[in-house]
Structure 1
Amino acid sequence: MRVTSKGQVTIPRDVRESMGIHPAETEVEFLQDENGRWYLAKAKTTNKTTSRFRTAHKTGKLTMSTDDIMALTRG
């Protein structure tokens, strides 16, 4: 797996799915064991704050007007 010049790597889809990692929603952390090995772990979050825009995208319907959909995003 290559590391970009910015220090980024792509986590394979099957790994993300099995760990429950979702783009822009999940924090991850790197942990080191007593032998010096590093592990990727899904971070435990205590304060889950979901953006109103993330929740609004699930409620829009094709039958809704643009004004109705915009009203959903404005809370």
Structure 2
Amino acid sequence: MDDRNINAPLAKLFTLWAAVGISSWQEAAAAAAALYSFLLIFEWTWKKVWRPILELAGWLKPRAPRRRSTTDWDEL
């Protein structure tokens, strides 16, 4: 098998990382942590802020409340 077929995607990946500014594993870990933090903040604001506003405006269907029966509590 030709080595160029394997090395080309790896070179593109490293070029993309360098274009973003990631040149070490420490920077890659920091970028992953930043992305994860952004996703957690986005999820929280969606659940606590944006979804209730859009439900009140009538743009989203309100979620049905969770109902538990006595047998559900016994299983816990």
Q: TM-score range by the shorter chain?
A: under 0.3
TM-score by length of 2: 0.21
TM-score by length of 1: 0.21
The structure carrying a bigger strand percent of its residues is 1
The structure carrying a bigger helix percent of its residues is 2
Higher radius of gyration, 1 or 2: 2
